[in-house]
Amino acid sequence: MSITDPHMGKIILPRTNPNWSDPRVRLDKHTRIGLDYDGTLVGGDGQLVPGISKHLHDYVATNYRHKEFWIVTFRNEMDSAYCLHRLGRYGLPPECFKGIHWTRPRLVADMDEINLLRTSGYTGPKHPVEIEFYEYKAKACKELGLTVLVDDLPDCVEDACIEHGIEFIHAWDFARL
């Protein structure tokens, strides 16, 4: 099976992972669900993510009356109305979501500065900004009482989810449906 991403071209998604299971079945076990925005609910260019968004949108639209969906994003508060508007264009009205949990305004910019240091050869211990960044979504889920997070960047969130008792579902699992 493959999908075509406008930025990455053709992506092959084999079902070779012996631990893969239908993400909808995994979500069925939860009533309070965290969803990443960019790369999961929509692509970075505002379009639907090929192979992912339709299945995830269908799941939210079918289940929002008896499940609580929160958007947990690295975006800031200023983007929240825009995010809901874009989702509405794809048939997910604001009432599908209990709310949006956004990061502090400078976290992503601060992390970009740390990444620049890292790519310039800095190999020191983890900076407090890195710790805050990598733990943000798991801590937000825990604070909101969410028990699962669907996200497209496991390198940024999966370890912290495990540490905080939040089940992690890779957004690309929806592309395998």
- The CATH architecture that domain 2-176 belongs to is 3-Layer(aba) Sandwich (3.40)
pLDDT band of 14, cuts 50, 70, 90: very low
Distance of CA 100 to the CA centre of its chain: 12
| Tens of pLDDT, residues 150-174 | 999 999 999 999 999 999 999 989 8
Name 35's bridge partners.
71, 150
What is the spatial distance between Cα 177 and Cα 101, in angstroms, rounded to a whole number?
A: 28
- Report the C-alpha dihedral over residues 117, 77, 92, 94, rounded to 10 degrees: 160
Does the pLDDT value for residue 74 go beyond 60?
Answer: yes
3-class DSSP assignment, residue 105: coil
Does the pLDDT value for residue 99 go beyond 60?
Answer: yes
Tokens of 135: 């733990």
Mean pLDDT for all residues in the chain: 87
pLDDT of residue 17: 60
Domain boundaries, the chain: 2-176
What is the arithmetic mean of pLDDT over 6-34?
Answer: 75
What is the arithmetic mean of pLDDT over 112-129?
Answer: 92
Higher-confidence residue: 7 or 25?
25
